[in-house]
Each structure stands twice: as C-alpha cells, then as structure tokens.
A and B are shown apart, each in its own frame.
Chain A
Amino acid sequence: MARLYDAIEPEVVSMDMLQNAVESLRADGDNQVVPKEDKLDYSAVNSLRLDFRSILRMENLWLFSNLTKLQMDNNIIERIEGLDTLQKLTWLDLSFNNITNIEGLDTLTELTDLSLYNNRITNIENMDTLKKLNVFSIGNNQVDDENSIRYLRRFDNLRTVCLRGNPFASKPDYYTFTIAHLPQIHFLDYKLIDEAPREEALKKYEIQIQQLITTEDQDREKDKKSDDKKKQHQLHKEAFVENMDQNQLFTAMFKDDSEGQKLLLVPGADELVAQIEEKFVAIVHTMFEFGLKEKETRDKEIDDFWICVNEAKDENTRRAAVIVDEFKEYRTQLFAKEDLEQQGVSSAVAAEYDDALTNLRNKLMALEIALVDQLEETIQTFERNLGEMVSNFTESMRANFGLLRELQAFFNESIINLCVAAVERYMKGELDDEFPDETRDLFADKDTILNACQTSDEIHRSKLDQREDEMFSRISNWLTTMVDNIHEDEEYNRNRKRIIEISRLIDYLRADIEDM
C-alpha cells in the first residue's frame, strides 16, 4: 500500500506490455506451434492480466471492447479511469492500489465481481449503475461510515461483501449492523451468515430498517412515476402532439408576453380569458387525441409493411438457399464420381460443371431481380400510403390551428374592445383605484393600448405558428428519413449484399475447376 514513488519508476501501459500480457495468457506458452500473428487483435481478447507492474495510470485499454476480465492488482493506480469502453467487463480486480475514490465505473453495467481490497477509499459511492454486482470486496480501506453500508442495500444481486480491515469494521456493533442492513448478502467477510444472528440483528435494528424501507419505497415510487411520465412524453412526441394534452400551449402563449399579461388586468378580461381558455384547450385536446390516433394507424401500417416485406424476403431467401443446397448436392455427386476414376477432373466434367454454375448464377440472379421488383413496388405503395396519411394529418392539424388562430383573433378583438372601454373609462377617471401604477401608463393613451394589444396578438400568433411549423416539419422529416432509410436499406444495401454474396459463391465454386 505504502509504496514510495521514488523507489519505483511508474510504468506506462504500452503496446509491448499489452502484447506480452495477451501472449502470456495463451495456453501453448513458448511452444511455437502457431506462427505469431503480426497484429494484436484487441477485440478478440477476453481477459487481461496487468498485475505487479507498478502501473500508475489506467490507460490505453479502450481498444479491448470484448474484455470480460481485467486484473490490475498490485500496482500504484490512484484513480479509476479509462474503463468507459470496456462495457462487457464482468470481473474487475483493482486490489492493492492507491485508489482514494470510487469513480469511473458507470458504464460497466455487466460487472459482477469487483475487488477494491487494500486501497484508500473512505466512501462507498458512484456505483448506482452496477445492478448485477455479486461480489464486492472493499476490505482494508478507510471506510468509516454507516451510510456507505446503507448504500449497498440497492444491489439486489449482491451476495458476498468483504469489509474487514476498515475502521468501521472495528466498531463493536459492526457485524450486527451490517447483516441487519444488508439482508440480501449471504457471506460477510467470506463467512456464511447464520440464520439465528441474522434474525437477532434484524430485531435489533427493526425500527431503523423499517424507516429505511419506507423511504426507499417512496423513492422507488417516485422513480417509477417519472419514468412513466418520460415514456408518456416520448409517446406523445412520436405522435407529434407533445405538450398538447393540457393547457400548456395556452399558457405558453402568455408566458413570454409581458405586455399581454398587463392587458389582462383590464376589467372583464378574467372572464374572457377563462372563456377563451376553455375553448382553446378543447380544440387542442381534440388535436391531441387525433394525433395519438393517427400515430396508431401509422404504426399499424408500418408494422404491416414490415411483416410483408420480411415475409417476401424470407421466402425469397429460402428459395435461393434451396437452389444453392441442390447445387451443392449435385456438386458432391459429380466430383465423387470423378475422384474414383482418376486424379483431377476431366474436361468434360469441367465443362458440365461450368454450365451448371452459369445456370446457378442465372437462377439466383433471376430470383434476386424478381425480389427487387417486388420490393420496389411494395415500397412505392407504402410510401404513397404513408405520404397520404401524413398529409391527412397535416391538413387536419392545419384546420385546427386555423380554429385556434380564429379564437386568438376573437380574443384579440375582445380584449381591444375591453381595453378601449377601459381607456375611455380611465379618461373619465373611473378606474383609479383598481390599477397598479405601471399599467396605468399603458392605459394613458388609446394608441399605446392598441399597440400593446397588437404586440400581444403578434406574440400569440407567432407562438401558434411556431408550434405548427415545428409539428409539420418534424412529421415530414420523420417521413422522409424513414422512407429514405427503407430505400437505402431494403433496395440498395440489401440488393448489393445479395449480389456480392452470389458472386462470391460463384467464384468460390468456380475455384473447384480452375485449380485443376
């Protein structure tokens, strides 16, 4: 633990070191039965051992994307870092280092075994994402905190914990406290926990644990709610009607409108606003419902499309595969006959085989072209239908937005009337006491008030326009992206892949006779 920096030169994780580490794990050792490969294939390495090397920084590990087991014990590491790309890691050993904080483990969601034995850690933290954690060793550290133990309650799969050698572990009620608060673990400090002491401990801490459980339940409930909400919002967003289920749009109209808010102080405006809001929200809500319904029909359409396309592709692939299998059968028979008689293939057989190959190629190509035609037509139909749906949606929404605009116009008119009336009354000095001072300036003059009304109206209109534009641009964007993707993947990429496969196959089969 207490190594002196000046006594040992820190090592850097270098290419050579990695190469050596990988090689040393191979079973054949020095026995050179297989020629060494020139290049290290990082993604093929599953486990890596870098122990007893006085490594100071965890670095240059990001290429090992398939690594499941990493041993870096007995080094002089001070920070956990550079593990973000090793997402398949299940086994991580960082014992006997100089780590002071738990950090940088957030992406290792598959981790089941984690050893931080003999470090300088004071707090157990930053491990929320390690849901699968099963064995956790944090012995010989500086943990001296009940909260760190409570923190471990969240790991449902945790079975083994090592805590000894911490200041906390030397407290008298350490054992009972731990087994009471971590009911899911079976082994503490590598010893099986018996039922009897566990029950006793649970009884002892009954009240605290009950409280803990209650707060945990509440938290969980909250998380769930916010999750649901997020999902709901996502759904609405996909239907392009987010924030339209209630009066969000209406309030948004008034939010940035400071002048308008002042105008609302005009006597009689309250009623008007309430009236307009009701109508407004009703329209928005129909739009919202309509949007959800449209999404459903669109989804169904898309599902239908994919089911049919996949059926067609599978059927075509199956038929092609049958043809290939038949050909292979034929090929084995042809050459089986040949080999018995003589070494090599006679020219007659070669010619026959060549013909058969050409035939095979033609057949496969014909199938592929038929499929391309079929898919093209289907995709076109689909595109047309979906386009219709989208334009349907847009039109209906546009009409609704028109209604909203009308409503806004009506509102504006009414408010102007109210304001004018208010100004007149103000002129007559009837409204003195009701108005706050800053609005008083607004009502000083008819022009000012009309200007204010106009600004407010413009703001409101621009809000509506903005929302409309956003909706339409997003849906058309969505449509084009999807259709483009379909064209790209289903028509172009798929066809390309298949053609390549066919020519590869033909080349491979032709090699049979070309060798001779």
Chain B
Amino acid sequence: MTETNGDELHASHDVNGHEHADTDEEVADQQNDSNNDVQEEILPPKPKLQPIIAPDMFPPPIVICENPENYPESYRTNTKKEELILTFIENFRRQYHYIYRDRKPLFLNPLNECGLPKFVCTTVQPTLLSFSKLFQWNDAAEFVADHLNYELLEPPHELPKTLWSPEKVLYDHRGNCFDYANLLCSFLIGAGYDAFVVSGYATREVCFMDTTRLPNPYIKKREEKHIERIKPPHKKYTVKPPKDLTSKYDAYMHQRHLDKIQADKNRRQEEENKRIAEIEKPLPDPLYGIRVHAWVLVLPGKREVPEAFFIEPTTGYGKATNDVEYLGIESVWNHQNYWVNMQDCSNGCESLQFDLNDQARWEFMFTYSTSLRGAVTATLNTIGNSAILDEEEDKGTAETTQKDIEVPPSWVRHLDLTPAEFQNRYPHSRKTYFYKKTRVEKYAPYFMKDGIVLKISEFADYDFKELIYVTQKYEHRHDKLEERGHDIRTNTVCEIYLPGRPDQLKEHTYGFGPEFERTMIYYDKARLDGLAKRHETMLELTDYFVNRDDFLEYRKALFEPRPKKFGPAEKDNQRPIISITERYGRNVELNANDDIRELVFAIKDDKFVITYHRDDIHITPSTRTYIKPVNWNDKTITIKWSDDLLLETYQADEDFKQMSKRDLYYKMLKLMEQEEEVTRRVQKAEDEIRDLQNRRQQEELSNELEYSVYDTERNKKSREYRDLLDKRDKEEKRKREIKDVDYLAPFLAAIGKPSRINAHTAQTLRTSAQHDFKERSIRKANLMQARYENEVQELITKQQWYQKHQIGMTKEDELEYQRVCQDAQFRLHILEERLDRHKKLTAEKYLQLESKLNEDPRLKEPYIIPEEKK
C-alpha cells in the first residue's frame, strides 16, 4: 500500500518545481515514443505483421477479436477526442507513477473487446432501462448479480488488461468484477444515483464470490414479537395487591439456582459459538490485501440516499463503507471524472472519507467548477495540462492557457434489453448459489414446467450433505401454489397458496402417511361459512370460524379410533363420532346467562351439555345437561316430556329465571335437530378433506401454468385476439385508403407529374378538376335521360301496337302484353328515381370536391407534390 502524504498532486508539483520542469521536458521528449511504446506493450500486434513472427516468442494477443466488423464504428476506432484523452491519461499515469513510485498502477485505459484502449470513464454508459424493477439500487444490483456468470481475475493480484463494454457483458452473461461493477454503475447512474465504480482490494471471499460463509438471505424472518407488558399506571384507587406470604429466602435461593443454570447455559452457548466461529473461519490467505477487486460506491445526495455505501456487484448486497471485507481503494470513477484515493488504507476502508471534492483526500483527473459538478465540460488538471504544453512555456502561462477539455461521450452503444431477456434473467434461465449450509437455485419464470422460480435447500452441515429443509417458490401456477416448504426431518410439508382457489385454501400443512396430522388455513373472508382453519388429527377434527353471524368460533369432533380391519381399507367409511363440541362467542345483544358458550353433543352418551356465558360479576357459568329420550330415533312416536330428560341444571345465580318445562322441551327438540345438522357438517368437513387431497394430487399431476391475458408472448388466446385486432385495424385502414381516391392524379399525370408547380398551374389544375367533374356528371345524367327516353319510346310503340291488334288477341298475348307493360313501368320508375338521386347527389358531391380542392396541400403554397408511395 502506498504511503500517502495527503498532498495533492499539483500542490507537490508547485513545491518541486524544478524536478517537474525536468519531468515535463522528459515527457515532452518522449511523448511520441511513449505512445508507440504503449501501443507495442499493450496493443496486440497488427495481424498483417504476425505471420512472420513465431507465435511462441511473443505473448499471445490479450484480446482476440475474430470479426471486428461485427462491432460498430465506435468500438473499432478511437475518435480524435478519445485519442487526445488517451494522451492526457498517459501523461497523468506517468506523472503519477513518477511521484508515487511505490503505488500500484491505476486502472485507466484497458482494452475493449476490439483490442482498443479506452478510457474507463467512457466505458460507463448511463442507461435507464424500461423496467420499473431496475429503478431501485437493490433490485438493479440483484439483477446484475443474477444476470451474469462470474469470472475470476487472473492473476488475482493484478488489474485486468481488458474491460469489455457493458453491452457485451450484458449480452454474453459473463464478466469479471470490473465488468460487473461497470454494468451496475451504468444502470445506477441511469436511474439517477450518484454511483461510482471503485477499483481497490478486497478479501479472498469477496473476490471469489464465496458466499458459503454468509447466512442465507432467503431465510424466513421468524417474527419475534416482544410484547412489552406496560404496567398500568398506578391510579389513586388501585387496590393493593394481596399480601405476599411466600418466603423471600426461598425465592432468593431459587433465583440463585436459576442464575447458576443460566450462567451455565450462557457459557455453553459461548463455547458453542466459539466452536462454530472456529469452523467458519476462513483459512489464512497468502495474497491477503493485494487481491484486486472492483465494486460500486453510491454517494448520498441523490435519490434520497442518506449516506454513502458500497454495493458488491457480484452478489448484489449493499455494504457499509466500513465493511471489513474491503481492504483498500485505489481509485473511483463515473462517466464524468476519475478520482485517485490519497488516503491511508492501512486500516481498510474504515476511516475513508468520501467527499470527492476534498482535494486533500481525492486527487481528481479533470477539474470541474464544484458548482457545476455533473456538467460535461471539464478542464484538465494542472499536471495533465502542463504535460501537453510546450517545454518553453512557464507555469505562469500554463494557468492562462488552460484548455477546456471534454470527456468524450461513451463509446458504448446504448444498452438494451428485451422483455424476454429481462425475464430470463439468469444465464441459461437458471442459476445456483451457495450460502452457509444453504443451496439456492433460481429459475426464470415459465422456464421450468412446474413453475418453480426459487428452490432453497437448507443443510445441517457445511458440506451440503444432510438436507433439513427445502423451500420451493412457484409462480404462475394454475393451482395458485406459491410456496412449498418440506421439512425433511419431520417429513411434513407446508404449502402456501395465493388467493383465488375455488376452495379458498391459504395454507396447507400435512405429513405423509394415512393418519397424519394436517392443518388447513383458509382465506376466511372469501368463504361463505367463515372457515378460517381446519385441523385434523387421528381422532379429532376441528374447524375454526371467524366473523360468523351466529358467533360460532369452533366446532370440534372427536372420533373413535377406526376399527382395525384386515383387507382393503374402505375409503368412505365414516369414523364413528364420540362427541361434537361447538364453541360460540359472546352475543352482546343477549343476556350472558341466555347466551350459549359451549354446546356439547355427546353423541355416544346420548347427552347434550350446554354451558352458557359467564357474567362479568359471576365466577361460574350456568350449565344445563339433557339426556336424549330413549326412543329418540323413532320418528313415529311423539316424544313426551318427562322430568328425567333434564339431568341437571346449575344456575350461577339463584335470581336467574328458571326455564319453563315447555321451553325446555322445545329446546331439547331443537337440540336433537341441531345434532343431526352438526353431524352432517362434520361428515361434510371430512369429505372436503378427502376431496382436497384428491384434487391436490390431480393438480400436481396436471402441472399447468397460467398466462396473464396481458402476456401476449405466452398467452395464445390473447395473442390471437391481439393479432385479430391488428388485422382488422389494417384492413380498416386499407379500406379507408381505397376510398380516398386521388382525384388530382389524372391531371397531374397529364402534365407529367411534376414535383413542384406554381400558382398558375395550381389554378388550372383546380378548374380542370372541377370542369371534369361537371362534365362527368352531365354525361352521366344525359346517359340516364337517354335511357329513360328510350324506354318511354318503347313503351309507347308497344301500346300503339297493342291498340292496333287489340281485337283478335288471344288471352295469352294479352297477358304477355300486360306483363311487358308492367316491366317497362318498373324500369321507368327506377330510372326516374336514379336520375333524381343523381341530381341531388351531384350538387353535394360538387361542394365536397370544391372544399377538398381548397384544402388540398398540393394546390397551396409551396405547391410541393409528394412522391407517390408504391
């Protein structure tokens, strides 16, 4: 690491004026040579020179560009401005190297994919893609991390020689950390963040993108709610607590015992933690501190970022600027400027300040007037400036001849991503990550047949051998399955569904095996019966309800163990019910003592037990127990009341009204009806469970994904419909075009289709068009008139003929004559009408033509006649 004195480069330049004069001289002398040197050193030899040289004597070219003609112009050549900038940079580099001999070289002008040196600032192409998901920094970072495959730097302690355009990176789905950072930075600046690419040093784990020591980011946040019991404020009349008669000594001893146990536990926990830390501690790294890495820095000020932070582009995580994983910064840059870090990095990045305008800490390459930071114009730093001055010129004039210089616009084409590419997201539509004891597989939506998009496998050990828990997330499933968690150890599955299933299932927890516990949670608001949860165990079935008008809270059925049978199990064999319990909430409209809280239908014991709600002032609820009459099942007999039927009654207060025998009797009849109803419901619930199991199996097999109606790419129906609409639109358009006959065309053709005409010609065109129209209508009218007259003539001759031969005509002839006459009359009528219509329409049409001619752009200034489209 370089020792920094905090001085600015140009400040030291002033102090050591003499030395610099020499440097300048030297630089000026070697300028041309050095340029050549650089090219020889870095650039690959030109292909036409190669055939002579044996390949093994020279290092192979760093960049092999097979068909450079596929790349656009800006990729293959440097513009003059870029050349100029490269020259400045070279000078900057030389001086930097001269002043700070022990600092490592800077990452300034790596080669691009065509083998051309490009300044790193111009490789950043700020782009805002049209996906709202890339607008937040964390989403953008996650996208970059997901989209690319990581390549290590080789060797790990040196800067790469190349930096590809973000376009190629995006297209190729791969890149090293510099490519990652560059691409992400382009997105972030495009989204309005104040983001920078950072070139520096990091630990091996970061450089290797080794996430196996990081906790799984997808781990379910188990909500721990600490309900702090707020002690009610002591009011004036709060009663004193009853006397505490327990021994204080006992309590003390007990507490001491507990403390000891707790301390023991803590100690063990600590040991365990230590042990785990020992296991997880990475092996010592011989290259610690010199591994080159690139990441992204976001400064506060824009997009409501409160403070500076790093983004690790390879994983997409946000990190604090004092993260211990980052060991030092050489330089940072964005699309406008380049800053070199002048602060001491021996403590990592912990004490770094990120005020880039602070010249004592950050050496910039281009000076900007601070108020105009972000403007495109920049002036060269004094050092760079003096380098291109003539050697004779002294420093006094150097200030005055400062030349404004612009960072040329990025040579990279604008980044673009099709929605399909964006949706595919991962290289080959899938990607696998490893975290501490966790494997995460990600898939693009619609890529897998069952709609899986995320699979998280948690393991018990570090070697990914003993599977504990698998979480799978799905999208676009027809059965609305959103998430499935499989606990391997207990062999239970928990499925979570989106709203919209016909049975309104929300969560389904079940195990395997015939008689296993299962819990179903429903979207209770969507269900008519308000069912919120259903819990089934071997001998119990409980339905929980919410928001019911009858205040039912739950219904619980107890079953007898199924008689063990040999042979094939009968599926529809209902389990015999021991009892059904219904619990009701408090209906405030009734008296507590009349409001039933619990209703037990003890079916096996032929009993009903009613428990009422407890009043606020009583400590016991009233209860009432009935015994079913012996012959209750016999419908033919009317059950008579007898005092034995009411087994026992307990009233919490003797003032409570006793029910009359008649009321009790009807109550019991009602209970018997209710029992039947409730039994039916329980059986229905059982059937529903069985149905659900079957349906789920079928759904799993069918494996269908649904497509949104707006997704015309995938939804066939939708696309067909869309195509149809398009087609119709086109046809409509064409029809309209046909309708608009160009009435000027023949006249224009007559004068040889000129591209321009003058006012006089326009006038002639107009009059001739009108004239033509008039003539045509007259001709048409004349034609019709003539026909009409013809017809009349014919009719008259026919009539004359008839009158002559009237006597002595056969009946057939007469009929024939009448028919002919009728025909002629009919034709005459039609002709007459046509003529009439023609007369009316002609006037209208003429007016239309006139207005059209008046509005025709070709007959107005400047009389340009557009070329006809073919």
Which A residues contact B (CB, under 8 angstroms)?
26, 31, 33-35, 37, 41, 44, 301, 304-305, 307-309, 311-314, 317, 320-321, 323-324, 364, 370, 373-375, 377-378, 381-382, 385, 494, 497-498, 500-502, 504-505, 508, 511
Contacts and interface: CB of A to CB of B under 8 A. Distances in A.
Contact of B239 (A31, A37, A301, A375): A375
B652 interface: yes
Contacts of B96: none
Interface stretch (B104-112, B659-667, B778-786, B826-834): B659-667
B239 A33 contact: no
A200 B661 CA distance: 60
B558 to A, nearest CB: 12
A450 to B, nearest CB: 56
Interface in B171-214: none
Given A308-B237, A311-B238, A33 B639 contact: yes
7 contacts: A33-B638, A35-B661, A41-B660, A308-B237, A320-B619, A497-B653, A505-B620
Contact of A37 (B236, B238, B648, B660): B660
Interface string B123-142: 00000000000000000000
A305 B237 contact: yes
B620 A324 contact: yes
Interface string B610-654: 000010111110000000000000000011110000001011111
Interface string B543-563: 000000000000000000000
Contacts of A497: 617, 653
A324 B661 CA distance: 29
Interface in B131-172: none
Interface in B559-611: none
A314 B237 contact: no
Contacts of A364: 619
B614 to A, nearest CB: 6
Contacts of A31: 638
B660 A44 contact: yes
A321 B619 contact: yes
A498 B237 contact: no
B616 A309 contact: no
Contacts of B661: 34-35, 37
Interface string B228-254: 000000011111101100000000000
Nearest to B643: A35
A332 to B, nearest CB: 10
B650 A508 contact: yes
B242 A381 contact: no
Contacts of A498: 619
Contacts of A385: 236
Nearest to A515: B648
Contacts of B614: 321
A25 to B, nearest CB: 12
Contacts of A26: 662
Contact of A501 (B235, B618, B641, B665): B618
Interface string B486-498: 0000000000000
A320 B242 CA distance: 14
B242 A370 contact: yes
Contacts of B618: 317, 501
B239 A308 contact: yes
Contacts of A378: 237, 239
Contact of A374 (B242, B652, B654): B242
Taking chain A's interface residues, is the majority helix, strand, or loop, or is none over half, making it mixed? helix
Contacts of A504: 650-652, 654
Contacts of A501: 618-620, 652-653
Q: How many of chain B's residues touch chain A, expressed as a range? A: 20 to 34
Contact of B237 (A304, A321, A370): A304
The 3 closest A-B pairs by CB, nearest first: A308-B237, A374-B239, A320-B619
A373 B619 CA distance: 18
Given A311-B239, A374-B239, 4 more contacts: A34-B665, A309-B237, A378-B239, A500-B654
Nearest to B618: A501
B619 A324 contact: yes
A33 B660 contact: no
A381 B240 contact: no
Contacts of A382: 237
Interface of B: 235-240, 242-243, 614, 616-620, 638-641, 648, 650-654, 660-662, 665
A308 B238 contact: yes
* Residue from A33, A309, A498 having most chain B Cβ neighbours under 10 A: A33
Nearest to B641: A34
* Residue from B619, B620, B653, B662 having most chain A Cβ neighbours under 10 A: B619
A207 B424 CA distance: 78
A378 B650 CA distance: 33
B660 A321 contact: no
A31 B654 CA distance: 32
A172 B651 CA distance: 66
Given A309-B237, A374-B240, A501-B652, A33 B619 contact: no
Nearest to B659: A44
A377 B240 contact: yes
A364 B620 CA distance: 11
A33 B652 contact: no
B237 A37 contact: no
Contacts of B235: 304, 307-308
A52 to B, nearest CB: 26
Contact of A312 (B239, B617, B665): B239
A312 B236 CA distance: 13
Nearest to B243: A370
Nearest to B234: A308
Contacts of A500: 654
Nearest to A512: B648
B237 A317 contact: no
Contacts of A312: 238-239
Given A33-B641, A501-B653, A317 B619 contact: yes
A381 B618 CA distance: 26
Contacts of B651: 504
B662 A317 contact: no
Nearest to B655: A497
A54 B235 CA distance: 67
Contact of A34 (B237, B648, B662): B662
Contacts of B654: 500, 504
Contacts of A321: 614, 619-620
Contacts of A324: 619-620
A143 to B, nearest CB: 40
A23 to B, nearest CB: 10
A497 B619 CA distance: 11
Contacts of B617: 313, 317, 494, 497
Contacts of B641: 33-35
Contacts of B638: 31, 33
A317 B617 CA distance: 7
B620 A317 contact: no
Nearest to B640: A33
A349 to B, nearest CB: 19
A508 B650 CA distance: 7
Contacts of A301: 236
Contacts of A33: 638-641, 665
A304 B236 contact: yes
B850 to A, nearest CB: 53
A490 to B, nearest CB: 11
Nearest to A32: B640
Contacts of A308: 235-239
Nearest to A375: B239
A381 B237 CA distance: 8
A181 to B, nearest CB: 38
Contacts of A311: 238-239
A505 B648 CA distance: 13
B618 to A, nearest CB: 6
Nearest to A315: B239
Nearest to B232: A311
A312 B240 CA distance: 9
